[in-house]
A and B are shown apart, each in its own frame.
Chain A
Amino acid sequence: MNPFRNLSVIRKLVQLVAFAFFVYGGVIVGPYLADKISIALPALSCAYDTQAADLCTLIPFQHQMDHRLGTVIANGGNFMMGLMPTLITLGTFVLLFVILNKAFCGWICPLGTFQEFLHIVGQKLGLRRHESLGAETVRRMRPLKWLILVVLVFLFPLLTGLGWLNHDLGDPFCRICPSRILTSLATGDASQVYVNTANATTLVFSLIADFLFGLIIALGLTVRQPFCRICPMLALHAVFRKIGLLRLVKNAKPRCDKCGLCAKVCPMDIREIHTEMNKRDVTFEDCTLCGRCVEFCPDKDVLQLKYLGFPVFSASPAYFKRRNKAQKLWEKTTLAASLKRRAKAGKAAT
């Protein structure tokens, strides 16, 4: 299969370019311009990475809860003035979101990219991978992202602004976010890898952050997208998924019942893509619009990625055949297999 006609290959290329820009963007646009962008465009990458070209939207949300809204509520003042920065951040986020919808997660997010590449490493090392998590595990994990969004991104910072919690809980999500460690490490800056003994809060949060980062590295080798499943950005996206211009659409056919390939290849284990037979819009809350389900759907136009209602990528039997073959070949190519081949060749030669 021509790799440039393979959606997964195209997506990986986009991910690599996005990773380079959002992690090392400061090198290209200069730290000052990067600094300006980081203030003016509150979305996407991590503020702790000094080379980054922009800033994750979750940081301003936490700071605005702590320093603006909470402060206005606690000390009195114009409530709308306190809320306005949050609304502006939300507005900027929604503007970008309308264009990309949840494709940010599947195509742009540096942490998502890192986890996908970890999984490739695991596959190439010949580690036993878990193609899907159990339905019960997935069901139990789903509320976690909402809990993290509500408690760590909005509630704790707001309570900090009200003066009820100590200042170290003003940006609690950033304190445990693996992306903070990843993106700063990617620029050769180890300053975000630490155990902070300043007080009990910083100690607990830094221990969680480091442990979580290590856990994700190891799990990412065998489990697809381990952190994405609890990421509050996914939850934030889910809130607005109905207004995004890019959608995953299903034209269910009776054959869908017996197939289920779409759910099997889904990196987020969304079984509903397979089981849903009535709804046309199947951009479920955990969907990252990666398009894998469309790629591996063997029936014509059953699954489609649509932009503004126009199909941009549709399931087709011909594509499925080529893609399936390419996937099998890709999965056969592992370090263990090549070592085995080499050993066999060596034996045959002697």
Chain B
Amino acid sequence: MAIKAGLISGFILFAVLQGVAFAGGLLDGELMFHPMNRGGGHQHGQSSARPGGKAYMLMNGDDSVMRMWKPDGDSVEIEVSGDYFDLPMTGVDNYHAVAVERKRQGLQESYMRYIYRRGKPAGHSPAELLAISKSTLEVVPDPLPREHRRYQSGESWPFVVRFKGEPLANVGVVLKTAHGNGSDAVSDKDGRVRLHIPDDFFDVVEWQRDERRADFAVTVEHQDGDMRYRTHLGAEYEINPKHWRSTSLGVLVIGIGMLVGGFLGRVRGRDSKEAG
């Protein structure tokens, strides 16, 4: 019994440490959730390592309500007891949306993630999922990373800010990473912003593959009458492979290939001339 208890507490400690390692410092004291165990390695999609359910850790989630949307737009409420929860299987793959929301006096907060479950096509475009209003104030990826793509450090990605389902113009949008860096921009008339994800992983060794990932959050606040709204869109980003992939060397090797090809062409040309 003691061994079992020890193992369980050990697992929980490990999971918490994993979570802290990837999202530590990000949105301190705010409502959020994130996957508990995120190693590197080969994974299809952005967040979920396997197609089934996955353990998540909810932080500061008292009195919150969580909901999950399937690719076809159907949604189910997720029961959360304690700080950990599993997302249920829905019978379909591709992108799902999960939002947790909480209303307190004068403040409505929400946190959202789009979770990719690899595998068979869902029969619905992710655009349909993005079009659904999931919270009064929300940041929507525009577009979501495609299959085999993830957010990467050093890239810029577009997002749309929506309030009550409509684009929200002229509002400040802040992107912050788990490493404490970030970028910001103001939404245009269509509610669109393009935000830069900093290349800020620690101790990256040039020329060596590094599959670490971390969280970032895109945050917007908006006042409407007596109510203040705050929303975060959470996602993972990984180290940009440019640290171990050199484009200039690639161009050089292509050039060498062209020189060799040109030489072979000339030799063959001379041979056929002589033969002819």
A residues whose Cβ falls under 8 Å from a Cβ of B: 30-33, 35-36, 38-40, 47, 50, 127-128, 130, 167, 170, 190-191, 193-199, 202, 206-207, 210-219, 221-223
Contact = CB atoms under 8 A, between A and B. Distances in A.
A222 B253 CA distance: 20
Contact of B260 (A31, A128, A191, A218): A218
A33 B146 CA distance: 11
Contacts of B249: 194-195
B164 interface: no
Nearest to B264: A219
Interface string B248-271: 011101111111111011001100
Interface in B221-276: 241, 244-247, 249-251, 253-262, 264-265, 268-269, 272-273
A197 B261 CA distance: 25
Identify which of A47, A190, A198 gathers the most chain B CB atoms within 10 Å of its CB: A198
Interface stretch (B6-14, B119-127, B171-179, B212-220): B119-127
Contact of A218 (B120, B125, B127, B262): B262
Nearest to A167: B42
Given A32-B143, A39-B147, A214-B253, 11 more contacts: A195-B246, A198-B244, A198-B245, A206-B250, A211-B254, A212-B257, A213-B254, A213-B257, A215-B261, A219-B261, A219-B264
A32 B244 contact: no
A194 B247 contact: yes
A194 B246 contact: yes
The 3 closest A-B pairs by CB, nearest first: A214-B257, A218-B261, A198-B209
A195 B141 CA distance: 31
B112 to A, nearest CB: 18
A210 B250 contact: yes
8 contacts: A31-B146, A127-B265, A193-B254, A195-B253, A198-B244, A213-B254, A214-B258, A223-B268
Given A130-B268, A197-B244, A197-B245, A40 B121 contact: yes
Interface in B153-175: none
Interface centre among A128, A170, A195 (most CB of B within 10 A): A195
Nearest to A170: B42
Contacts of B256: 211, 214
B255 A214 contact: yes
Given A31-B146, A39-B121, A130-B269, A190 B247 contact: yes
A107 B244 CA distance: 38
Contacts of B42: 167, 170
Dominant secondary structure of chain B at its interface with chain A = helix
A119 to B, nearest CB: 11
B148 A47 contact: yes
A58 B17 CA distance: 41
B257 A210 contact: yes
A214 B264 CA distance: 12
B208 interface: yes
Contacts of A39: 120-121, 147
A193 B208 CA distance: 17
A342 to B, nearest CB: 26
Contacts of B127: 30, 32
Interface residues of B, number: 38
B4 interface: no
B265 A218 contact: yes
A218 B148 CA distance: 31
B268 to A, nearest CB: 5
B149 interface: yes
Contacts of B246: 194-195, 197
Contacts of A221: 265
A123 to B, nearest CB: 13
B269 A222 contact: yes
A32 B245 contact: no
Contacts of B260: 211, 214-215, 218
B146 A35 contact: yes
B147 A35 contact: yes
A193 B245 CA distance: 9
B245 A196 contact: yes
B257 A218 contact: yes
Nearest to A213: B254
Nearest to A41: B121
Contact of B245 (A47, A195, A212, A217): A195
Nearest to B122: A36
Contacts of A207: 253
A30 B249 CA distance: 33
A222 B264 CA distance: 10
A40 B143 CA distance: 20
A218 B259 contact: yes
A29 to B, nearest CB: 10
A199 B245 CA distance: 11
Nearest to A221: B265
Contacts of B244: 196-198
Contacts of B251: 193, 210
A289 to B, nearest CB: 27
Given A50-B149, A222-B268, A193 B250 contact: yes
A20 B58 CA distance: 46
Contacts of A195: 245-246, 249-250, 253
B125 A33 contact: yes
A31 B259 contact: no
A61 B255 CA distance: 31
Nearest to B41: A167
A223 B265 contact: yes
A213 B259 CA distance: 12
